[in-house]
Amino acid sequence: MAHASYILISFLLVVVLNVAKGQPLVPALFIFGDSVVDVGNNNDLLTIVKANFPPYGRDFSNHSSTGRFCNGKLATDYTAENLGFTSYPPAYLNLNVKGRNLLNGANFASAASGYYDPTAQLYHTIPLSQQLEHYKESQNILVGIVGQSNASSIVSGAIHLVSAGNSDFIQNYYINPLLYKLYSADQFSDILMQHYSTFIQNLYALGARRIGVTTLPPMGCLPAAITLFGSGSNECVVRLNTDAVNFNKKLNTTSQSLQKSLSGLKLVILDIYQPLYDLVTKPSENGFSEARKACCGTGLLETSILCNKESIGTCANASEYVFWDGFHPSEAANKVLSGELLAAGISLIS
């Protein structure tokens, strides 16, 4: 413990020194995945899974709804700040001009996508395989601007963050008889692992050497999941949490073997399960007063287009709530989670 806090303190010192020089700790930050990290790539897609209208973003610095599924910042926004960046990696699909604005990274994430491409196809969003194509495009643009050798060092020094799997379960497996009648949750996790493994190998082949992957959250504690799958109870749904824990174990072992087989790769699992579970089960210890209901609307179900400015019941102060909408943490909760990501991610930088 003492050792861990020593590392944390020396790390923070490095951050402070670098940030003071106006120099981020890594050249760039590239982000892939689902609504946990999407900053607006879905805005112009023909999908219902969007968040580019109020009250989304109401507590953001400029009070604008960017497409983030949150009242304010995402955990990865805090990560970008912690790394010393002065702006967030832009939503790749929203850039009218793609050029120097990609030098510090980009965000390719699309809400309702996952490791399993059919999940994104169900909602007309961008599957991970396509996000990778967008990443390739952006690498070619980088080469055009700074040349092959500089572009390669940007890519190999960059941190790549991946958040996926939530939508594969919640927006697909649990509600899709074509899947849940065919596969147990364990078998479905194995399928996701194959896709995960391919995705990491493809990222590696494109030059990525520092990759952080978030675990599944306690899916059974998300307000909408309790409403939908909790059989009238107000408690976290044990079955869904068990599925998340099993998935996370597989993620861990799969990552360990990837790390062994891909030389020079730093692959770190960023645990959000435990910290979010702690917030839900002990909200007051962390300064929150409500963890069952989300802030937006009734707080029992609403997300995306159902969480809008006509929603009745939206809370006044989202900082008291662990969840902003039925599926997504509030900015205040994201801030806590980002601290955990930082602690887990230190080995990516050192």
Ligand X SMILES: *[C@@H]1O[C@H](CO)[C@@H](O)[C@H](O)[C@H]1NC(C)=O
Stretch that binds ligand X, among 110-118, 143-151, 159-167, 173-181 (CB under 6 A): 143-151
Residue 243 or 331: the one with the smaller Cβ distance to ligand X is 331
Question: Which of 134, 160, 195, 328 is an active site residue?
Answer: 328
35 is catalytic: yes
33 phi/psi in degrees, rounded to 5: 135, -140
Q: Tokens 């395989």 — which residue?
A: 129
Which of 152, 202, 246, 319 lies at the binding interface for ligand X (CB under 6 A)? Answer: 319
In sequence order, what are the beta bridge partners of 105? 29
* Residue 255 binds ligand X, judged by CB under 6 A: yes
The least distance separating ligand X from the CB of residue 318, rounded to whole angstroms, comes to 8
**Closest approach of ligand X to the CB of residue 310, in Å:** 22
From the CB of 67, what's the least distance to ligand X, in Å? 9
Cβ proximity to ligand X: between 170 and 332 the closer is 332
Task: Judge whether 76 and 37 are in contact, CB under 8 Å.
Answer: yes
**Quick one: which H or E segment has residue 214?**
strand 210-214
Q: 151 vs 170, which CB is nearer to ligand X?
A: 151
- Give me 5's structure tokens: 């806090």
317 binds ligand X (CB under 6 A): yes
Quote the least distance from Cβ 266 to ligand X, whole Å: 10
Name the catalytic one among 271, 325, 330, 338: 325
With contact defined as beta carbons under 8 Å apart, do 67 and 51 qualify? yes
Residue span 274-293 as binding mask against ligand X, x where in contact by CB under 6 A, dash where not: -------------x------
Q: Which of residues 191 and 269 has its CB atom nearest to ligand X in the complex? A: 269
Contact flag: residue 62 with ligand X (CB under 6 A): yes
Torsion angles phi and psi, residue 52, rounded to 5: -105, 45
Closest by CA position to 11, among listed 62, 93, 84, 104: 84
Q: Which is nearer to ligand X, 261 or 317 (CB)?
A: 317
Side-chain-side CA neighbours of 326 within 13 Å: the count stands at 21
Among 99, 144, 147, 313, binds ligand X (CB under 6 A): 147
CA distance 92 to 80: 16
Closest CB to ligand X among 169 and 273? 273
Q: Give min distance, CB of 256 to ligand X, in A.
A: 5
Q: Half-sphere exposure of residue 90, counting CA atoms within 13 Å on the CB side?
A: 14
Tokens at 71, concatenated = 């009242």
Minimum CB–partner distance for residue 168 and ligand X (Å)? 20
Pairing mode, strands 210-214 and 29-33: unpaired
Among the listed residues 7, 146, 228, 346, the single contact to ligand X using CB under 6 A: 146
How many residues make contact with ligand X (CB under 6 A)? 15
- In the complex with ligand X, the residue whose CB is nearer, 64 or 281, is 64
Using CB under 6 A, which of 23, 64, 140, 184 touches ligand X? 64
Q: Tell me whether residue 325 is one of the annotated catalytic residues.
A: yes
Site residues for ligand X, 69-128, by CB under 6 A, read 88
List CB contacts of 332: < 8 A, sequence separation 6 or more. Answer: 287, 288, 318, 319, 320, 321, 322
Strand arrangement, sheet containing 29-33: 105-107, 29-33, 159-163, 210-214, 266-270
Is residue 190 at the binding interface for ligand X, with CB under 6 A as the rule? no
Question: Are residues 323 and 315 in contact, defined by beta-carbon separation less than 8 angstroms?
Answer: no
Catalytic residue among 34, 35, 110, 330: 35
In eight-state DSSP terms, residue 216 is -
117 close to 129: Cβ distance less than 8 angstroms: yes
CA distance 279 to 148: 45
Give the residue numbers annotated as catalytic, written as ranges.
35, 325, 328
Judged by the rule CB under 6 A, the positions of this chain that interact with ligand X are 62, 64, 66, 88, 146-147, 150, 252, 255-256, 269, 287, 317, 319-320
